[in-house]
A = this chain, B = another copy of it.
Amino acid sequence: MEQVNQIILSKAGSNVELIPEIATHLISSGGKRLRPMLTLAMADMFGYRGEGHVTLAASVEFMHTATLLHDDVVDESDMRRGKLAARKLWGNQASVLVGDYLLGQAFKMMVDVGSLEALRILSEASAIIAEGEVLQLGAAQDITTTEEDYLRVIEAKTAALFAAAAEVGPVIADQSAEMKAAARDYGMQLGLAFQLVDDALDYGGSAADLGKDVGDDFREGKITLPIVLAVARGTDEERSFWKRCLEDGDIQDGDLDRAIDLLKSHGAIAETVERAKAYGAGALAALEGLPDGPHKGALADAVAFCVARVS
């Protein structure tokens, strides 16, 4: 992982000063490096010998960083990883463009590795992530969003990159289709668990856990699973409350507290956490078919880490 960090910092460089300034602001701000870890552990698990997995892992992190820069612009977020969001420091314009730069660098790095199959998987993920974000934009501020709609969004915007990051491990280690599918399945289920936990934390965590403020999703009118469940189980009066806050964006003092009370009284946060645990269990099940050893332990720990954030 030290090598991944070195590549990340060197490839975030540019003669155009603003680029490394913005990129390292975000990259050095203590991200969990969960996605590149998946690529490294999956490749190592199959005994891969080479440098390609390090470069692919760094390109996965660049794709993720580019997404964060663009997301913060789209969501008008103020905070990211406990710091001011890049867009608050350097503006939306620079955030859009530096995100584009990092995406270009990510593809250059993948080309350096030379695996067309890894390129196919990661470029596919890149298009799907953007598709998921557009889908989320359409679902935002719409309390008729269904559970199915929500799952489609998070599978695309979050889980697809986890799945791709995991799958390229066996791909560069030249493994069977079965191993690739198991790695992908693990990544997909872990990604779903991760996002569900994130969505639960937005109403139940602390600012320190989140790196952003509790209730950000609420203020942005984002329709996550806790909301979908609470709306479905709520009274007409409660639906009016959700509509006013999330669709009309008319949020008053005390509304976030009321929202959290409603989510809790309908068991919506607890059920979201239960779903996350179920996907976590699915990820562990997918691991069973993969080779034993220390990397398998690390990948199982990643599942526990994701779920433990809310336990």
- Residues of A at the B interface (CB closer than 8 Å) are 14-19, 70, 73-74, 92-94, 96-98, 100-101, 103-105, 107-108, 110-111, 114, 116, 119-120, 123-131, 133-135, 137-138
Contact = CB atoms under 8 A, between A and B. Distances in A.
A52 B131 CA distance: 25
A14 B131 contact: yes
B107 A137 contact: no
Given A116-B114, A120-B111, A127 B98 contact: no
Nearest to A73: B96
B123 A111 contact: yes
B134 A94 contact: yes
A94 B130 CA distance: 10
B101 A74 contact: no
A64 B70 CA distance: 18
Given A97-B74, A101-B127, A126-B103, A18 B108 contact: no
Contact of A104 (B70, B94, B129): B129
Given A73-B93, A101-B131, A108-B120, 15 more contacts: A14-B134, A15-B131, A17-B138, A18-B134, A97-B130, A97-B134, A98-B130, A100-B126, A104-B126, A104-B127, A107-B126, A107-B127, A108-B126, A111-B116, A111-B120
A129 B18 CA distance: 15
A97 B18 contact: no
B94 A137 contact: yes
A16 B124 contact: no
A125 B120 CA distance: 19
A126 B104 CA distance: 5
B131 A108 contact: no
A119 B126 contact: no
20 contacts: A17-B138, A18-B137, A70-B96, A70-B97, A73-B93, A74-B93, A94-B134, A97-B133, A97-B134, A100-B126, A100-B129, A101-B127, A101-B130, A104-B124, A105-B127, A107-B127, A108-B123, A108-B126, A114-B116, A116-B116
